[in-house]
Structure 1
Amino acid sequence: MKLPESNAPSLFDRPALVRHRARAQDEALFLHRAAVDEVQDRLSMVNKTFTAPAIVTPFAHIWQDVLPEAQIVSDDDILDLAPRAHDLVIHAMALHWANDPVGQLIQCHRALQPDGLLLVVCLGGETLHELRAALGQAEIEVTGGLSPRIAPMAELRDLGGLLQRAGLALPVADTARLTAEYRDLTHLMYDLRAMGETNSLSGRMKHATQRQVFARAQQIYADHFPTPQGRLSATYELICLTGWSPDESQQKPLRPGSAQARLAEALGTKEGKLPD
């Protein structure tokens, strides 16, 4: 089913994103391998066998051996997923680059069979907060302005709400933080380029940045976010979302007032009125 086209301006430049991903280097994709570990850990806790999985990812070679029988799908605006074709859909490290994240989740939901599982791993709002702060302050000091350099990433609570908006049941959202160390700002920028995660914002500057901006950003970064070894610390936040396609077999919350025992009795304490 095709989603209606939106007239809203695109936050991300998809052709630029495709170019950036094409120059990614396999040894730099450690975030994707960390996401694989998170997915496998969560699937190990699900008491269900999946027979028709699909994985949405920009880097198929990282994920193709996680579930060898899975259909691998590119994270295009319109996902190549057939309705009700899968009992598991994994959206792997791509939702933070989606122009329409709710639309992506809705498409995944449509692809799920009843009681099918959607599992999403993406970068969250704490990612590269050190770099964002250092570059922002440096640019203001040097140029007197501020340009979009690092993509805005959703917070944990916001992403959890997207699952409900997409019509999924039993939504759960949690987070894992990874910390990497870099020699200097140039080393960090090189690593981001090798990950395919450099600036793909539609509103990004199309001309070279003044060297003074990066020099000042290096100084600010080193002053505020050093490691004990004198390197630069960078945070990457992985947010994990799970939601189920609604089905009558799933547990449902009890109606208010339907409890058969008092909480005070269960806790072995006395029940009293709150003061007015």
Structure 2
Amino acid sequence: MTQPPAIFDSALIARHLGRRTEASDFVTDLVLADLEERLGALIREFPKAAIIGPDREKLPVSGRTSSAGFAFERHVAFAGDSDIPALHGDDYNLIVSILHLQAVNDVPGYLARLRAKLAPDGLLMIAALGGETLTELREAFLAADAEIFGGASARVAPMIQVRDAGALLQRAGLALPVADVETHVVRYASPFALMAELKALGASNPLMDRSKRFATPALLAAAATSYAERDGDPDGRIRATLEVIWLSGWVPHESQQQPLKPGSAKTRLGDALGITKP
């Protein structure tokens, strides 16, 4: 089976994460708070559950639905040669992946392999950075590269688009697929403050085909100027978009809702709407 071309350098991502400082990771905090709320809306018990994310120490050891509490197995993303950590067995009732999918080279394969680890009627939940994340920084560097070097270089990673998410879940063999997006606008004192935070979080350029040219002071200055001109506020601060895509789907099971067969309706739509035949 042909492997898709590598877009992300997994070994480089692991090195970047290994050099993280103790800086506050508000993105992970935001996603985990949202996860807690989403799980709390479910009427379900999860006897065997796993959660995957870049920072094991930040992953919760337990979760709670409206029915019961449960324990999480915690697994580290970007820790080995495989996109998926070594999950134990194929009978998980819940698998959660946070902030991992956006830097996976084989997205359909990733989803299919996680689905294979789920028991019938098991739930897969994923939170990933969406395609609008850091769009301002991407545009600023494109303009700066064109100005300084006369051409564009890939310095900000491409990310999944929400319009593709539902089809990916169905392709992986998951039923009742749901994809939704939450968009946040974060403000920084300057473009350099944003870049410093990305470096502190281990989120520097992860692309395999990244530019071999170093980000020179002239390039960074040009990017900062472009950023401020395009996305600066009157008080001197700049805006940065954070888009989080949430995906969920269930392993098919006979107990789940099933669509009616075409032609099986017992009532005309016109009758339901009070429309009489001419």
Normalised by the length of structure 1, the TM-score is 0.91
My pick for the range that moved more, 230-239 or 157-166, is 157-166
Instruction: Output the CA distance in 2 between the equivalents of 1:8 and 1:262.
Output: 48
What is the Cα deviation at residue 24 of structure 1?
2.2
Tell me which residue corresponds to 2:66.
none
What is the Cα deviation at residue 219 of structure 1?
1.6
Instruction: Output the CA distance in 1 between the equivalents of 2:277 and 2:96.
Output: 46
Tell whether 2:47 aligns with 1:51: yes
| SS of residue matched to 1:191 | helix
Tell me which residue corresponds to 1:123.
129
- The partner residue of 1:177 within 153, 168, 183 is 183
Runs of 4+ aligned residues of structure 1 deviating over 6 Å after TM superposition are none
Residues 190 and 236 of structure 2 are in contact (CA less than 8 Å); yes or no, is this contact kept in structure 1? no
Relative to structure 1, the CA distance from residue 271 to residue 82 in structure 2 (aligned partners, 3 Å threshold; closer, same or farther) is farther
Tell me which residue corresponds to 1:114.
120
Tell whether 2:174 aligns with 1:168: yes
Residues 130 and 225 of structure 1 are in contact (CA less than 8 Å); yes or no, is this contact kept in structure 2? yes
Relative to structure 1, the CA distance from residue 258 to residue 224 in structure 2 (aligned partners, 3 Å threshold; closer, same or farther) is same
Tell me which residue corresponds to 1:102.
108
- The partner residue of 1:13 within 9, 14, 35 is 9
Mark the runs of 5 or more structure 1 residues left unpaired by the alignment.
none
RMSD between aligned alpha carbons?
A: 1.8
1:34-78 CA distances to partner (integer Å, 9 max, x unpaired)? 111221121122211111100111211111334372111222424
Corresponding pairs, count: 268
Instruction: Output the CA distance in 2 between the equivalents of 1:172 and 1:87.
Output: 18
Identity among equivalent positions (%) equals: 38
Residues 87 and 117 of structure 1 are in contact (CA less than 8 Å); yes or no, is this contact kept in structure 2? yes
Task: Give the AA of the match of 1:9.
Answer: P
What is the Cα deviation at residue 93 of structure 1?
0.9
Q: How does 1:62-211 map to 2 (within 5 A)?
A: 62-67=58-63, 69-75=71-77, 76-211=82-217
Relative to structure 1, the CA distance from residue 171 to residue 229 in structure 2 (aligned partners, 3 Å threshold; closer, same or farther) is same
Normalised by the length of structure 2, the TM-score is 0.90
Residues 180 and 233 of structure 1 are in contact (CA less than 8 Å); yes or no, is this contact kept in structure 2? yes
Mark the runs of 5 or more structure 2 residues left unpaired by the alignment.
64-69
Relative to structure 1, the CA distance from residue 190 to residue 271 in structure 2 (aligned partners, 3 Å threshold; closer, same or farther) is farther
My pick for the range that moved more, 184-193 or 82-91, is 82-91
Relative to structure 1, the CA distance from residue 195 to residue 270 in structure 2 (aligned partners, 3 Å threshold; closer, same or farther) is farther
1:111-130 CA distances to partner (integer Å, 9 max, x unpaired)? 11100000000000000011
Residues 61 and 73 of structure 2 are in contact (CA less than 8 Å); yes or no, is this contact kept in structure 1? no
What is the Cα deviation at residue 197 of structure 1?
1.3
Task: Give the AA of the match of 2:260.
Answer: L
Tell whether 2:236 aligns with 1:230: yes
My pick for the range that moved more, 200-209 or 108-117, is 200-209
Tell whether 2:267 aligns with 1:261: yes
Instruction: Output the CA distance in 2 between the equivalents of 1:81 and 1:64.
Output: 17
Instruction: Output the CA distance in 2 between the equivalents of 1:116 and 1:141.
Output: 51
| SS of residue matched to 2:182 | strand
| SS of residue matched to 2:71 | coil
